[in-house]
Structure 1
Amino acid sequence: SEEFEPSVDGVTLIQQYIEAAEPFIIRVEFVGGRLLYAVRVDTSQGFELCPADACRVDDAFCPTGESAVSLFQIERDFSHELVERYEDFLAENKIHIAGIEFITDRSGVTYTYDVNTNTNYNSKAEEVAGIYGMRAVADYLGRELAAAENTNERRASSAVVGRHEAER
């Protein structure tokens, strides 16, 4: 097209619109490289899918007095053939915390289109489901810290024993 303008850095990204079989996408959240939960995101009103609270636009500009159905619904017991492949991908790339998004088209073909390592959580959806991403991250990091401290203590203890044996 004559309207095309090349990018400043010479990189051009061409995207294809994928028409979903149903008006939703799935975002799977991983903590410690394992599935925490999946979020079903309603796309029937558009494609602003940022789950973070900072992205939320409440009814401040158009108050109706009624709270709308959330676009984000957590599916706790989510199962999909891609989950194991995503976990393998995360392990191979040493990614411990991530959100991965995918969509299934009308032909049944599933496309993974986004991997976020700076993931965001939706507090309202989590409150409804009773599961909290940031708490899971804190617990995971606490376990990692404890494991690192134990490793350091064993190293320090080995060094002291080695030094005492060398002094004999």
Structure 2
Amino acid sequence: MSKIYILHENPEWTSHLTARLEELGLPYEDWLLNDGTVDLLSEPPKGIFYNRMSASSHTRGNRFAPELTNAVLAWLEYHGRTVINGSRALQLEVSKVQQYLELEKYGVRTPRTVAAVGKSQLSEAAELFEGRSFITKHNRAGKGLGVQLFHSKAALEQYIESETFEEPVDGVTLIQEYIHSPSASITRCEFVGGEFVYAVKVDTSEGFELCPADACTIEDLFCPAGEQQAQNEKFQIRQGFHHPIIEKYKEVLAANHIQVAGIEFIEDEHGTIYTYDINTNTNYNSDAEAKSGVFGMLELATYLGEQLNKVNLYSDQPSLSLTEK
């Protein structure tokens, strides 16, 4: 029997999805890819495969989970299996450099960014932002890894020579212009099946200027699954949100074969939008959804069920009926 296979490294981020799959009566199997093997000449099982690998896997002790997932995705794609968020999605998930270049290719404005390897190179890159505030972040990140705000090159140099400096897992640190948001917020646009589902406003008033000792708060701020936001109502769904940027986002996702993603932007005092993150392992805030009556994981589970039905139809297997909710 065909199933929905979920490829991931963090069970805490899949439980809400599997609960919805069970609610809809859909067959699924959990593939935890913290370690394992891939027999390249063996044939994968029938079904559809949903990749939920995270760029921050190394923070949970799963340093090579993305590399293993990359091998698994190549194997699945070679054998012609239906993969949701395949190899290209994983490439963008683990590289903000690739994200920004792809966004710019489709006319989506990103903050000015310089990628650097080495502390002296970081210091040199800071000279390009002379007289302006800037932030650092990790190229392979997630959860706000390495996000710090600086107002001068001297402040950056003090940080990178201190014990609190966070070395990126891939060695690449980004220096990026700081975009001031008058509302102290960012917006995250959620997509399922390449279609816009909703936009959520995230309060960042406690964000960029936190010292390294408050890294756990930074982590919560940038992770929609975090409990801290729910307690403080940092997440609020923007009812009726419409903007031309949505169509550009859809172009980017379609061109890169990404079906499921959360894309984040910040708006400056002039109303200019800067997009700075494509998260292909998107999660959702349950409290914000409950207040608005839209549910990302239910949308996702329904979409996966529809894709499974297509696979079953093409293979002459009986299709599954989705339970109405």
TM-score between the two structures when normalised by the length of structure 2: 0.41
Residue number among 294, 301, 316 corresponding to 1:131 in the alignment: 294
What percentage of residue pairs aligned between the two structures are identical?
Answer: 50
> Structure 1 pair 58/23, CA: closer, same or farther in 2 (3 Å)?
closer
Structure 1 runs of 4+ aligned residues shifted over 4 Å read 1-5, 7-10
Aligned partner of 2:312 in structure 1 is 149
Once the two structures are TM-superposed, the CA of residue 12 in structure 1 deviates from its matched residue by 3.5
Amino acid at match of 2:179: I
Aligned partner of 1:57 in structure 2 is 228
Aligned partner of 2:103 in structure 1 is none
Aligned partner of 1:34 in structure 2 is 195
Residue number among 273, 276, 282 corresponding to 1:113 in the alignment: 276
> Structure 1 pair 36/58, CA: closer, same or farther in 2 (3 Å)?
closer
- Within 5 Å, which residues of 2 pair with 1:11-26? 11-26=172-187
Q: Distance in 2 between matches of 1:102 and 1:50?
A: 15
Q: Distance in 1 between matches of 2:195 and 2:171?
A: 37
- SS of corresponding position for 2:300: helix
Q: Distance in 2 between matches of 1:76 and 1:145?
A: 31
Structure 1 stretches of 5 or more lacking a match? 60-66, 155-168
Once the two structures are TM-superposed, the CA of residue 122 in structure 1 deviates from its matched residue by 0.3
> Structure 1 pair 71/13, CA: closer, same or farther in 2 (3 Å)?
same
Q: Distance in 2 between matches of 1:49 and 1:91?
A: 25
Once the two structures are TM-superposed, the CA of residue 73 in structure 1 deviates from its matched residue by 0.7
Contact 1:27 1:39 in 2 (8 A): yes
- SS of corresponding position for 1:15: strand
Amino acid at match of 2:177: Q
Residue number among 59, 68, 75 corresponding to 2:238 in the alignment: 75
Once the two structures are TM-superposed, the CA of residue 75 in structure 1 deviates from its matched residue by 2.0
1:67-93 Cα offsets, whole Å, 9 max, x none, are 75x111112421011000001110110
Count how many residue pairs are aligned between Structure 1 and Structure 2. Answer: 144
Q: Distance in 2 between matches of 1:76 and 1:132?
A: 13
RCO (CA 8 Å, sep 6+): is it higher in 1 or 2? Answer: 1
